[in-house]
Amino acid sequence: MKPPPFDYTAPRSLGEALRALADAAGDGKVIAGGQSLVPLMNFRFARPGLLVDVNRIPELTGIRRRDGELRIGATTRQADAEQSGIIARGWPLLRQALPHVAHQQIRNRGTVGGSVAHADPAAEICSVLLAYGGRVEVASVRGVREIDASDLFVGQFVTTIEADEILTAVVVPPPPAGTGTAFHEVARRHGDFALAGAAAAVTTDDRGRCERASLCLLGAAPTPIRRAAAEAHLVGNELTDAVLAEAVALATADIEPPSDVHGSSAYRTRAAREMAARALTEAFARSARDRGQRKEAS
Amino acid sequence: MRVEINLNGKPFAADVEPRMLLSDFIRHEACLTGTHVGCEQGGCGACTIQVDGRAVRSCLLFAIQVDGSTVRTVEALSDERDGALHPLQEAFRECHGLQCGFCTPGFLMSLEPALASGPLDDEQAIRDAISGNICRCTGYAGIVDAVRHASNTIWNDPDIGTVDDLGSLGEDAPRSGAGDE
């Protein structure tokens, strides 16, 4: 299938891109990696009148640490994020999730910002951003603003980013020292969309009790979801079998994942439980290991 | 719109509509039909080529987007002078890594940069490396064998030489930390 005709512009600066998008008055669409948008256009599900290609805007790419926070330029390729030492050392949950993002050929082109702006309910990067309590920077001719991940995802493929705005960067605060993380998902083939998945970040104290927990499910709802009740149950506790079982039950009691040819809602719910249990168990273990290593070092 | 690229080492240019997919640009404008088009939705991997050294789906790019880039297709794999097959192609032939051959160019273009960055001999690693390409004939066993064979040839066999001897192999492969600043 071929896409319908459209106009195309590839500006060299953010200002030009924002002007082009504003002038398109809602008929414009930003293309970054295009790994989700182009199939939608090939199917003619999406028919933008103007494509604003942001790949040639130098300021939108690159991974850096600024004021302790991780700042990933919107058009940074997923494959580059996967290879990033800054991310591997400081934000391991993102590093753990990235190999699950589609296939190598897609990650070579697909961008971190594009994945977040596209907001697929099963997208790994979206769930990690939410689990880390991150945010995005967006710009328009009206100005720039930040949107917390918790306010970003509204529904399947729907975010609070306006039609004239461009996501310019993804920003993630540093996790507290001693945080352990884990990411698990089930997919039919490695790289396919997750049937269910979980991202966990856990900080424990000297006695192994949870000080802070973050648990996010993907593929379980129209958006990635934080599981506040499960997190609250974990805080103050060691991870016993009973605590884990209760946290997983709290995390998955109210989910209603969709049924399709790849799996029924009941199957996905059970898979989500298992992924949540594995992610939490591993995150606790990694936090304990990190604590042990720091003790040895000091 | 004018698209000018370096295609398999030579300049190539054509005027096309913005909506022309890179896969169609390669097949219909440049008349290189080694790149096969399967699903046109990024699922099958048959149209995989390399843009600036990285394996990508040519059906998920508009030709206009790669203006100024270096594009390599399966036609670039064999030796330009004598037509000798690339070790990866030899291995596919040797190990029955293909039957109908439709998916093969995509497998080859996906695997070439993967093999250039290091040996691939572990079965799971090989299966991960080919997870973005679908084959409906072989059942993959022959392909896995072929990758292992090619990896041994490229990385271990002193008669074949080192990777440096294989010319362009790997020169543009993604580098560790490429995105960091």
The pLDDT > 70 percentage for chain A reads 100
Q: What is the pLDDT of residue B163?
A: 44
pLDDT band at B49 (very low <50, low <70, confident <90, very high): very high
In a domain, B82, yes or no: no
Give SS3 for A101. coil
pLDDT in tens, A196-227: 999 999 999 999 999 999 999 999 999 999 99
- Mean pLDDT across chain A, nearest whole number? 96
Give SS3 for A27. coil
ipTM over 0.90: yes
C-alpha A78/C-alpha A241 separation (Å) is: 36
A102-124 average pLDDT score: 97
pLDDT in tens, A230-266: 999 999 999 999 999 999 999 999 999 999 999 999 9
Q: What is the pLDDT of residue B165?
A: 44
Q: What is the pLDDT of residue B159?
A: 52
List all residues of chain A from 56 to 95 with a beta carbon under 8 Å from chain B: 61-64, 76-77, 79-81, 83-86
Q: What is the pLDDT of residue B45?
A: 97
Range of the domain at B52: 2-76
**Paired tokens of A113:** 């910002």
The Cα angle at residue B15 between residues B11 and B16, in degrees rounded to 5: 115
B99 and B35 part of one domain: no
CATH code assigned at B149: 1.10.150.120
A62-172 folds as 3.30.465
Q: What is the pLDDT of residue B170?
A: 40
Give SS3 for A223. coil
In a domain, B137, yes or no: yes
Q: What is the pLDDT of residue A1?
A: 81
Neighbour tally for B157: CB within 10 Å: 11
pLDDT in tens, B63-95: 999 999 999 999 999 998 999 999 999 999 999
Q: Indicate the residue among B76, B98, B117 that finishes a domain.
A: B76
Q: What is the pLDDT of residue A190?
A: 78
Q: Does the pLDDT at position B176 exceed 60?
A: no
Q: What is the pLDDT of residue B157?
A: 64
C-alpha B23/C-alpha A95 separation (Å) is: 31
Do the Cβ atoms of A109 and B64 come within 8 Å? Answer: no
C-alpha B62/C-alpha B94 separation (Å) is: 36
Cβ–Cβ < 8 Å for B57, A109 = yes
- Mean pLDDT across chain B, nearest whole number? 90
| Chain A to chain B Cβ contacts (< 8 Å) | 115
Q: Indicate the residue among B45, B76, B107 that finishes a domain.
A: B76
Assigned architecture for domain A179-297: 2-Layer Sandwich (3.30)
C-alpha distance from residue A117 to each of A86, A160, B116, B177 (Å) = 23, 9, 33, 24
Do the Cβ atoms of B179 and A61 come within 8 Å? Answer: yes
Q: What is the pLDDT of residue B168?
A: 42
B159 to chain A, closest Cα gap in Å = 31
B147 and B93 part of one domain: yes
Of B48, B64, B178, the CB nearest to A83: B178
B113 and B140 part of one domain: yes
Q: Does the pLDDT at position B100 exceed 90?
A: yes
Q: Does the pLDDT at position A297 exceed 90?
A: no
Q: What is the pLDDT of residue A296?
A: 81
Q: What is the pLDDT of residue B158?
A: 54
B61 and B18 part of one domain: yes
pTM value surpassing 0.90: yes
Q: What is the pLDDT of residue B179?
A: 60
Q: Strand (E) positions, chain A? A: 7-9, 28-31, 50-53, 63-66, 69-73, 135-140, 143-148, 153-155, 158-159, 166-172, 179-186, 196-204, 210-218, 225-226
Q: How many domains does chain B have?
A: 2
Q: Does the pLDDT at position A130 exceed 70?
A: yes
pLDDT in tens, B2-17: 999 999 999 999 999 9
Q: Indicate the residue among B25, B54, B76 that finishes a domain.
A: B76
